[in-house]
A and B are shown apart, each in its own frame.
Chain A
Amino acid sequence: MSLISQFLPKPKTPFPIVPIQSIAGRTLALLVAIMTFLSCVTFGAVFLVQNSTLAWSSEVGRELTIQLQQVEDEQMLSDIRTAISLSEQSPGVARAFELTIKDSEELLSPWLGEQFDISAFDVPRLVVVQLADPAKFDLEALKAKITDAIPEASLDTHELWQQQLNAMAGTVVLSGALALILILTATVLAIVFATAGAMASNREIVDVLHFIGASDTYIAGAFQERFLAIGMQGGAAGGAMAIVFFFVASTITSAILPNQSATQVELLFGQFTLGWLGLFGLILVVVTIAILTAITSRVTVHRFLAQIAP
Chain B
Amino acid sequence: MIKFKNVGLHYGAGPEILKNLNFNIDPGSFHFLTGPSGSGKTSLLRLLLLSMRPTAGEMEMFGNSTTNLSKAELMQMRQHIGIVFQEFRLLDHLTTFQNVALPLVVRGEPESSYKSNVEELLDWVGLGHQMHVRPELLSGGEKQRAAIARAVIAKPDLLLADEPTGNVDPELSERLLHLFVELNRMGTTIILASHELHLLNKFKFPRLQLKDGGINVSN
Contacts and interface: CB of A to CB of B under 8 A. Distances in A.
A88 interface: no
Contacts of B105: 13-15, 17
Contact of B93 (A19, A211, A215): A19
A153 B192 CA distance: 106
Interface string B100-123: 001101111001000000000000
A304 to B, nearest CB: 14
A14 B74 CA distance: 26
Interface string B117-141: 0000000000000000000000000
Name the prevailing secondary structure of the A interface residues.
loop
Identify which of A207, A213, A214 gathers the most chain B CB atoms within 10 Å of its CB: A213
A215 B111 CA distance: 20
A61 to B, nearest CB: 64
Nearest to A207: B89
A204 B89 contact: yes
Contacts of B71: 216, 310
Nearest to A222: B106
A110 B15 CA distance: 86
Interface stretch (B31-39, B45-53, B211-219): B45-53
Given A212-B103, A212-B154, 10 more contacts: A13-B105, A14-B111, A15-B98, A210-B51, A211-B83, A212-B102, A215-B72, A215-B75, A309-B52, A310-B75
B3 interface: no
Interface of B: 49-52, 71-72, 74-76, 78-79, 81, 83, 89, 91, 93-94, 98, 102-103, 105-108, 111, 150, 154
A213 B79 contact: yes
A287 interface: no
Nearest to B93: A19
A208 interface: yes
Identify which of A13, A205, A310 gathers the most chain B CB atoms within 10 Å of its CB: A310
A111 interface: no
A209 interface: yes
A218 interface: yes
Contacts of A12: 108
B75 A208 contact: no
B75 A216 contact: yes
How extensive is the interface on chain A, given as a class?
Answer: 20 to 34
Given A310-B71, A310-B74, A213 B89 contact: no
Contacts of B91: 17, 204-205, 208
A310 B51 contact: yes
A242 B74 CA distance: 49
A149 to B, nearest CB: 88
Given A15-B98, A310-B51, A208 B78 contact: no
Contact of A214 (B75, B83, B98): B75
Identify which of A210, A211, A212 gathers the most chain B CB atoms within 10 Å of its CB: A212
A17 B71 CA distance: 22
Interface string A174-207: 0000000000000000000000000000001101
A230 to B, nearest CB: 16
B99 to A, nearest CB: 9
Contacts of B75: 210, 213-216, 310
23 contacts: A12-B108, A15-B105, A16-B93, A17-B91, A17-B102, A17-B105, A17-B106, A19-B93, A204-B89, A205-B91, A208-B89, A208-B91, A209-B106, A211-B51, A212-B83, A212-B106, A213-B75, A213-B76, A213-B103, A213-B106, A214-B75, A310-B51, A310-B78
A309 B78 contact: no
Contacts of B52: 309
Contacts of B94: 15, 17
Nearest to A21: B93
Nearest to A218: B106
Interface string A207-243: 1111111111010000000000000000000000000
